[in-house]
Amino acid sequence: MSGKAKFISALAVLYGFLGAVTVLLYVVLWASLGAEDQQAVLRILSGRTGIVVVILFAALAAIGLAFEYLYRHYVSAPLRLGEKLGVIVGADSRVRLPQEGSAELRTLTTVINRLADERDALKHDVQLRIAEAREAIEDEKNRFAALMSELNQSVIVCNADGRILLYNNRARLMFLSESNSASPGGSPVGLGRSIFAVLERSLITHGLDRIRQRLAAGDAQPVTNFVTSSRHAQLIRAQMAPAMHKDASGGQSIGGYVLILEDITRRFDLESQRDAVLQSLTEGSRSSLASIRAAVENLLDYPDMESTQRDRFLSIVRDEARTMGERLDSTASDFADALKVRWPLEEMQGFDLIQAAQHRIEQRLGLSTKTEDIDEKMWVKVDSYSLLQVVGYLAARLKEEFQVREVRFRLTRDGRLAHLDLIWSGVVISSETLVGWEMDPLTSGGENSPLTLREVVERHGGEIWFQRDKASHRSFFRIPIPVATAPEPAIPPSPFNQGRPEYYDFDLFRKTEETRALDDRLLSQLAYTVFDTETTGLDPSAGDEIIQLGAARIVNGRLLRGEVFDCLVDPRRPVAAESTKIHGITNDMLSGRPTIERVLPDFHAFCEDTVLVAHNAAFDMRFLQMKEDKTGVAFHHPVLDTLLLSAVLHPNQESHRLEAIAERLGVNISGRHTALGDAMVTGEIFLKMLPLLHEQGIRTLRDAREAAERHFYAKLNY
C-alpha cells in the first residue's frame, strides 16, 4: 500500500473513532439530563444549526491538519527515510538521507549520515588495501588477456552446460564474419551464451563421449578433434580438451571444456583446387606425352629418314616438351599453396572407433552388434564424426530395407591401410543398390548430414566396396582408412606443477543448475537482456513504430558494455516533431536503415536464453507484440519491470520515474532518451535492486514476478 493510501486509511479510522466517541458521549449526556434540561438545550441549539455545523467541520479540519502534520513528520518521513536507509545499506549507495521530518528525526538523520560517511571512509581504506593486493592478480589477468588476443586460433571456454565462459576476439570475429556483419547484435559468441548457437550439439556430445572414453582408459590429458561445418557454411576444425574439477565426493569430473577452433574453409577450397590441378596435369600431359612418344619412336625406327621429316619430328618433341614445361611452371606458380594442403584427420585408436560405432548403432538403431578380429593396438587417421555417420547410415539401410538384425565389426591391417568391415549374415545386396546408397545424403538415427557416403569415404583416401563370403553365407562392406603411428605414452604431470596454471585465475565453472525450472532460479543466477525502444509516438495501435532498439546483457551480476545491441530502424512513416524533441532522432537519420522485419529477428537472437528487463516494460513489449504476425518473431521470454520493482521496494516514494529511481539508488544518468543509453541506466538500476530484493525475501524469478504483478501499477493499461 502506498503512503497516501495509508494516510487516508488512518485518517478515516481516526474520524470514525472520534465520531463514535462523540456519539457515545452525546447519548450518555443526553440520557443524564432531565426533560426540562433537554428542552433547554434544544432551545439553545434551535436556530444555531449552521454555526454548530461550521464549528464541527472546523474542528474536524483542525484535527485532520494536526493529524496530517503528525503523520508526515512522525510516520511518513520515517518510512521514506527507512527505505532510503535500506538503499544506503543494501545497495551500497553513497546517497545520504535528506533532512526532513521532526526535529528528533532530523537529529537521527544527521547521526546516520555521519555513520554512513565513516563507513564509506573505512570502506575506502579497505578497498585501497584490497587494490594493492589485487595488483599482481590484475597484472596476471592482463597478461592472460594479451595472450588470448594474440593467439592465431579462436579459443572458447564453456562450462558443462555449453555456456560460454571465456572467449578471445578471434572467436568473436570468426562467427561475426559468417553472420551478417552489419547485424547490430554482433557475434553470437558472448559470455553466458550457448555454444550450440554456432556448433551442433551432437558434435560437442560426440567429443565429450570420446574424452570420457580416453579418461576411462587412463589417458591423463585426453584431447579430441573433429571437423564440422558451421551454420553458415564455414568449415571449422575444432580441438576439444576437458576442464576438470573436483566434485563433492573428491573425485574428478568434467566441469567444462576448451575449444580451439580454426577456420579451414580456404584450406578445403585449396584442396579442391589441388585435385583440379592434378586432374589437369594428368589429362593435359597425356596427349603431349603421346605425341612425344610417337615422334621418338619414329625417329628410332627410321634412322635414315629425310632431314626435313626428322626436323619435323624433332620440332614436335621440342614444342610438346615446352608446352608441358609451361603447364608445370604455371601450376607451380598459381597453385603452390593448394599442392601443399591435406585434409585434416585425427589420430585415434581403432578399438575406440569400433566401440563408438557399436554404442551408436545399439543406442540409436536398436541393432545388436559384435566384434571379431580387431587389432586393438592399431591406430587410424579418421574424421571420426563423419565416419561414424557412415557406419550408422549403412546399418540403418540394412535394417530398414533388408531387415538385418545384427551386424559385426572387423578391423584388420593391410600395409598402410586398415580395413574396416561391417558384416551381416544372409541377405545379399546388388552393386546397383550400393551405388545408389553412395549418392544419398547420410541420414540415420534422427541425424542428417549434407555429406554423402562416397564423399566421406573419398575424404579418407579410398572407396567402399561390397564383398560376399559364400562359405560362411555372410556379406560385408569394406571401408579402407589410413593407418596412423601410435603416439608415445603421455609424460605424467610433474608433482610440482599441480593445479591451475599461474596465469589463469578465473572462477569459470560454477554450477548453473540448468535442470532447475527458470521460475525457481535465483535472480543472481539468471542472465538478462536490458532493453529500451524509441518510437515515432506513444500509440502502437494507431500505427506508431519503433525507430531505435538498444539493449545490453547482464551475465553473472555484470553489465556487459561490450556486448550490446544498438540499431536505428526505418519506420517507413514520418517521425512526429514532438517525438524528435524528446529523442533527437530525425527522418534523415532513419533513411536507408534496416526495417523492423530485419532487425527484430536479430534482436530475438540477441535475447536468447535471457530474462527481459525494461522500465515500464508494458510499453516496449506492446510494440514488440504488435509485430509478431508481420515478422514471425514472438517474444515469450520472462519479463521484469524496474518500474514495478521500484514500487515493490519503495512503496512510500512519490515517484517511480527512471530519473527518480536513479537518483534514489545513486546511479549516474548518461545518454538519456537514447535506446541504448536508457537500457544501460536501467541495467545499472536493476543491479542495484537485486540485493534490496533479496533483503525483502524476493530471491527467485517467480518471487519477483509475483510481487510485481500484485502491485497497483501492474493493473494499469498502457
Residues with a known catalytic role: 673
Rg over alpha carbons for the chain, rounded to the nearest Å, is 40
Which residue type is seen at 714? A
Q: What are phi and psi of 473, to 5 degrees?
A: 60, 40
* Closest CA relative to residue 643, chosen from 672, 611, 682, 680: 682
Q: What is the rounded CA–CA span in Å between residue 221 and residue 489?
A: 11
Cα separation of 314 and 652, whole Å?
108
CA distances from 530 to 554, 566, 674, 675 (A): 7, 12, 13, 10
The residue among 430, 432, 360, 350 whose CA lies nearest residue 395 is: 360
DSSP assignment letter at 73: I
- Give me the torsion for CA of 125, 130, 133, 137, rounded to 10°: -150
Question: Quick check: helix, strand or coil at residue 653?
Answer: coil
Report residue 421: phi and psi, to 5°. -110, 135
Amino acid identity, residue 637?
H
**281: which residues sit within 8 A by CB, 6+ positions away?**
327, 328, 331
The half-sphere exposure of 376 on its side-chain side, counting CA atoms within 13 A, is: 4
Output the CA–CA distances (angstroms, integers) from residue 685 to 286, 553, 678, 688, in the order listed: 77, 14, 10, 5
Q: Nine-digit cell at 116? A: 554512513
Residues contacting 239, CB < 8 A, separation 6+:
223, 224, 225, 259, 260
**CB-count exposure of residue 499 (10 Å: 0-12, 13-18, 19+):** exposed
Q: How far apart are CA 321 and CA 332, in angstroms?
A: 16
The pairs formed by 703-706 with CB atoms below 8 angstroms and a separation of 24 or more are 704/523, 704/640, 704/645, 705/519, 705/638, 705/640
Round to whole Å and give the CA distance between 332 and 340.
11
DSSP assignment letter at 668: P
Distance, in Å, from the CA atom of 573 to the CA atom of 380, rounded to the nearest integer, reads: 64
| Burial readout 407-431 (b: 16 or more C-beta within 10 A, e: otherwise) | bbbbbeeeeebbbbbbbbeeeebee
Short-list 527, 530, 547, CA closest to 681 = 530
Side-chain half-sphere CA neighbours of 688 within 13 A: 27
Helical residues (DSSP H) of 302-448, grouped into ranges: 307-334, 336-340, 350-365, 384-402, 431-439
Q: List CB contacts of 124: < 8 A, sequence separation 6 or more.
A: none
H or E element at residue 39: helix 35-45
Of the candidates 210, 256, 193, 259, the one whose C-alpha atom is nearest the C-alpha of residue 500 is 256
For the chain, how many residues are written? 718
- Which of the 8 DSSP states describes residue 72? I
Contacts 24+ apart (CB under 8 A), 435-443: 437/393, 437/394, 437/397, 438/464, 442/386, 442/389, 442/390, 442/392, 442/393, 443/393, 443/396
